Amino acid sequence: LFEKSNLNTFIGFSYTTTTNQKMVFGGYGGLGYAAVSTHAGVIENNNGVFRLSANVGLTGGNASFTPTWQLNIVGSTNNVGIGTETPDASAKLDVTSTTQGFAPPQMTATQASAITTTSRRIIIYVTDTNGTFTSAGLWFWNGTIWKLIIAE
């Protein structure tokens, strides 16, 4: 365990087992986690799952906390979970939420028209119109042309 503390910095490095290593910003972590102030960030490799957490609203004063893991990269299934610690193994990216949605890239029709190399499956949200994009809304590239999924 290594911890560095001064007026501007508090970072804790911890190696708890051969399968769990962590770095805590704004606190420290050994077998548990503690935050110096009301926010702390954690990077952890836990049994082949690389996970990131940014916590706010903590008690502080070296009080213990449980990280809320926002991003999880799972080595065994080679996929990523956002908002879930256990992403579905059949999904490369699993975005999980009961209060938020997924927002694809948003751009103007001129910006969208400037995309020159496209993969089938590209999805964008176009905010206005031009010759190619006849309506503001959600569009996808089918490999040949842009197709409107749903108009605004």
For the stretch 72-119, pLDDT in tens is: 999 999 999 999 999 999 999 999 999 999 999 999 999 999 998 778
Q: Is the pLDDT of residue 6 over 60?
A: no
| Residue 135 backbone zone (phi > 0: left; psi -120 to 50: alpha; other: beta) | beta
**In this predicted model, what pLDDT tens digit does every residue of 9-55 receive, in sequence order?**
577 877 778 888 899 999 888 778 999 999 999 999 999 999 999 99
Higher pLDDT, 68 or 14: 68
Beta strand ranges found along the chain (DSSP E): 2-5, 10-17, 20-25, 27-29, 33-35, 39-46, 49-56, 63-64, 69-74, 79-82, 93-95, 106-107, 123-126, 137-141, 146-151
Averaged confidence pLDDT in the chain:
90
- pLDDT (0 to 100) of residue 13: 76
Distance CA 23, CA 35 (A): 12
Distance CA 26, CA 35 (A): 6
Which residues make Cβ contacts (< 8 Å) with residue 5, sequence separation at least 6? none
Mean pLDDT across 65-69 = 95
- Give the global pTM: 0.78
Which residues make Cβ contacts (< 8 Å) with residue 54, sequence separation at least 6? 39, 41, 70
- pLDDT (0 to 100) of residue 31: 77
